[in-house]
Amino acid sequence: MITTSIFPTRYVQGAGAIAMLPEEARRLGDTALAVVDPRVLPAAAAVAQKGAIVIALEAFGGECSDEEIERISARARALDANVIVGIGGGKALDTAKAVAHALGLPVAIVPTLASTDAPCSALSVIYTAEGAFKRYLVLPRNPDLVLVDSQIVADAPVRFLVSGMGDALSTWFEAEDCKISGAANMTGRPGGMTAFGLARLCYDTLLADGVAARKACEARKVTPELERVIEANTLLSGLGFESGGLSGAHAIHNGLTVLEPTHAFWHGEKVAIGTLSLLMLTKRPAALVAEVFGFCEAVGLPTTLADIGLADATDEQLRQVAAMACAPGETIHNIKGDVTPEQVFAAIKAADAEGQRRRHRHAAE
């Protein structure tokens, strides 16, 4: 069997690291167009004036859609840019990666949140202009640079860090599903032992440091625990999902996006519900299920459908979610055996019931 693992070319992390962006990006070219989340435009503008490389700024429109990719590609062509930079959250970064691919240019990724595992991957998740999942765009190479300023992450609302923990929480379980079934990762081949080892390290890091990292972020302090969770959310989860493989948690996330109330919630928050549902679907040991529910409760991740806006979701709506999660080509089919929409529906219901049961028990204590 041939196994394959893939990685970004260069990963830089630490408090104040954004000041190194011009120096690091200059290794890739001399004229850059940066796709920037509007909330960090002032910080990006200050860095862009450092002088080691010309960096023009373009405000991100909000969705990683085909329309936004084409709009920004046109701006890059007009600028004659030879480097694309993405600065912001997951969708802005995915857009930058897709633009760089369309133009055949290197890309530098600067996540300002540790909210998803998107930064390191050779993957962009494409949505409709309205925010519903559309498709995965698998790219031929990983980012040339990923640069994470831990202080910027610490200064962001804690919800983003927690959402990133929700995304990272799925990594080990989905990679384990792929290992058991022999399913392919994003390269089309199974992952190697490195990928599965990193996926497990991701999970262990979250359990060991997640609560302390949340407290550090609430205090806007960069601590060793926060650094480790940022790395778990960004690098370990990125390497684990991409080289280990995906299964049901992300497929259920994609199904949840068909219900409009979920659009107000972050990717990792919905993935957390997907992970809890996956545990039920694959009949993980009761002690492990309890451990994961306990972690979610401790750091503030959703544990019920109500937590992602679906308190009033009907069975018919949840069956729509399950059907989309089981669509042909979806990653849920990386689970060993045949997975049906009815099984997924039942798993979502079971996870929600367990979350409600635990909440009622805690309230009574």
pLDDT, tens digit (0-9, with 9 covering 90-100), for 336-362 = 999 999 999 999 999 999 999 999 999
Residues whose CB falls within 8 Å of the CB of residue 155, separated by 6 or more in sequence, listed in order:
220
Give the pLDDT score at 207. 98
Q: Is the dihedral of CA 299, 271, 126, 24 positive or negative?
A: positive
Q: Is 37 annotated as a binding residue?
A: yes
Q: Which among 253, 307, 333, 352 is annotated as catalytic?
A: 253
Q: Which among 101, 149, 250, 333 is annotated as catalytic?
A: 250
Q: Is the dihedral of CA 171, 173, 179, 184 positive or negative?
A: negative
**What is the percent of the chain where pLDDT is above 90?**
90
Residue range 175-195, pLDDT digits in tens:
999 999 999 998 899 999 999
Average pLDDT over residues 84-96: 94
Specify the higher pLDDT residue, 231 or 116.
231
Give the pLDDT score at 1. 84
Confirm whether 333 is a catalytic residue.
Answer: no
Residue range 97-108, pLDDT digits in tens:
999 999 999 999
Residues whose CB falls within 8 Å of the CB of residue 186, separated by 6 or more in sequence, listed in order:
6, 121, 122, 123, 138, 242, 243, 245
Mean pLDDT, all residues of the chain: 95
User: How far is 276 from 211, CA to CA, in rounded Å?
Assistant: 19
- Does domain 10-154 sit in CATH 3.30.460.20? no
Instruction: Note the pTM of the prediction, 2 decimals.
Output: 0.91
Q: Which among 101, 144, 149, 167 is annotated as catalytic?
A: 167
Q: Is 167 annotated as a binding residue?
A: yes
Count of CB atoms situated within 10 Å of the CB of 305: 26
Q: Is 81 annotated as a binding residue?
A: no
Q: Which among 101, 144, 177, 267 is annotated as catalytic?
A: 267
Q: Is 73 annotated as a binding residue?
A: no
Domain locations along the chain: 10-154, 157-363
Distance of CA 255 to the CA centre of its chain: 16
Q: Is 277 annotated as a binding residue?
A: no
Give the pLDDT score at 331. 97
Q: Is 105 annotated as a binding residue?
A: no
Beta strand 123-127 pairing with 133-138: antiparallel
Average pLDDT over residues 284-294: 98
For residues 114 and 155, the answer to whether their CB atoms sit within 8 Å is no
Instruction: Give the confidence band of 118 by pLDDT, cuts at 50, 70, 90.
Output: confident
Query: Considering the domain 157-363 in this protein, what is its CATH number?
Result: 1.20.1090.10
pLDDT at 155 > cutoff 90: yes
Average pLDDT over residues 112-134: 90
Between the CA atoms of 336, 120, 307 and 177, what dihedral angle is there, to the nearest 10 degrees?
10
Do 10-154 and 157-363 show the same overall fold?
A: no
Bridge partners of 84, per DSSP, are 33, 107
Confirm whether 253 is a catalytic residue.
Answer: yes
